[in-house]
Amino acid sequence: MPLLSKLRRGELMMLVEAVTLRSYSAGQRVCKQGDPQKTFFIVESGKVGARAGAGTAGSQPYSALAVLRVGCAARWLRSRSVPVVQVRTVPSGPEFEDGMHFGEMALLQGHRVEKDMNAVTHSTLLCLDNAVFESILGPYMKLIEAHYNTAILAQVPSLSKLTPVELRRLCDCLQPERYQPKALLHRKGEALNKLVILVSGSCTIEGPGVAGKDTRDPYAAMEEPWDPDRKLLQAGDFFGQMALLSEEVSEYSVTAGPESVDAVVLHRKDATALFGPLHRLIIQREEVRGARKDEDDAPTEAKQHWTVRDQPDVLFEDLRAVALLRSGTFSDVRMVVHKPLGTVFALKSYSRAQMKKFSAEQLPMRDKTSLTVVGSHPFIAGLVNTYKNAKKLYMLQELVPGGELYHRIHPPNLIGSAAGPGGSTKLPEDHAQFYAASVCIALGYMHSREVQQPVAPLPCRCTPP
């Protein structure tokens, strides 16, 4: 589907969780002609069509693999097993069958239903309301505009060290500006404190060497001489990138073309308010990158595979099981001791047979990838090493021995304690604030690294008091 194809995978998965299931009996109206288009429908089973005699202009259904995947994911969330869906060629008719969709203009504001739609047979539809879509992702057009601006900001060299999440936050700081034809956007020798990105129109930038080296083919060079001190900027181009790092006294001037110019600008003060001085952030991340490069360039025998920094390489045969901490459907967690050093770790083991039985083979790889991307953080149990054999996969992590957050929120009713509702003591407010802040900091760091994981009090563990 063209509209949904412009969304990112994480955004699609958020919409999948918001999809609702509705059933319609044969002959029941699904939507009425002339009413505001508020819901996007995907046919899970059954058949839906235009009422007899209704016009069918512009109503040809078409196959959309992306939407089928959304439907499959929604069913997986309900059944916990991935269904098999046949992708087939859509006939050119007014009826919508399994896997087809209609009402996609509900994602945009101001559209109305073009014709009555009724259930031909008993039908089950996956539904996504416009109000739900906007509550999750905001208005569709603003979301697409933010994607476009994020892509432009990613091309700015002075912002290349920022993550996509950080770039998205900068998009919220962009301010629109319009310049009249032939207007002077910037004068040579004046201080510049903003990045300017052209949205429409064109302008000319003039200054020593602004056009760079002539990379045109010989035929183009023959037709028009090259001016290294003059360059034409068009929609998507930008100037003033160094102004985000420090106050720049430019050596160039910028003049609008024969038509008015629309642009968005990012002021240095707004970027600094979000992340602090950008030049310091760039230096810090360059140092981290340099340290990682030095580690990658080390001899193979000296590398620590799947280890966090400052942790020794831990061999599986050097581990001794001490106690079983938790047992689940797919995995068990044991406390183990590294015999040579006496260090205590948590060893998580995944059963290959159980994962295959429940079609969850991707679970350990997802967990390992997430922990590898996250790296080291004070509120996230780091990954130390991984192992495998014919029956199980293993992940060795830092041990957090203070128990689960769930039991801090719902502790057992001890003798002599003040029991709250449900026979449990009440968690002090300052403790709740501390735990909530810790979880928020950890989630914020994970999101900055584009890692999304479900979080609940049960898997969250606490350090000893």
At 296, the pLDDT band (50, 70, 90 cuts) reads very low
Strand partners, 262: 178, 200
List the single range of 45-54, 345-354, 440-449 with lowest mean pLDDT: 45-54
> What is the CATH superfamily name and number for domain 304-399?
Phosphorylase Kinase; domain 1 (3.30.200.20)
CB distance 117 to 22 below 8 Å: no
Residue 89 has pLDDT above 50, yes or no: no
pLDDT reported for residue 459 = 63
For residue 383, with 0-12 CB atoms within 10 Å meaning exposed, 13-18 middle and 19 or more buried, which class applies? buried
pLDDT reported for residue 427 = 77
Residue 256 has pLDDT above 90, yes or no: yes
List the single range of 59-63, 122-126, 142-146, 318-322 with lowest mean pLDDT: 59-63
| Tens digits of residue pLDDT in 156-189 | 887 877 887 788 888 888 889 999 999 999 888 8
At 288, the pLDDT band (50, 70, 90 cuts) reads low
pLDDT reported for residue 22 = 92
Q: What DSSP element (H or E) covers 199?
A: strand 194-200
Q: What DSSP element (H or E) covers 336?
A: strand 331-338
Length of the chain: 465
Mean pLDDT value of segment 295-305? 40
* Domain extent listing, the chain: 2-137, 142-210+227-278, 304-399, 400-465
Q: Enumerate the H helices of 94-190 as residue ranges.
A: 130-137, 140-154, 164-171
> What is the CATH superfamily name and number for domain 142-210+227-278?
Jelly Rolls (2.60.120.10)
User: Is there a common fold for 2-137 and 142-210+227-278?
Assistant: yes
Return the SS3 of 72.
Answer: helix
> What is the CATH superfamily name and number for domain 2-137?
Jelly Rolls (2.60.120.10)
At 287, the pLDDT band (50, 70, 90 cuts) reads low
Distance between CA atoms of 158 and 112, rounded to whole angstroms?
45
List the single range of 63-72, 120-129, 135-144, 402-411 with lowest mean pLDDT: 63-72
Say what percent of the chain tops pLDDT 70. Answer: 75
pLDDT reported for residue 416 = 40
Distance between CA atoms of 329 and 354, rounded to whole angstroms?
7
pLDDT reported for residue 255 = 93
Q: pTM score, two decimals?
A: 0.46
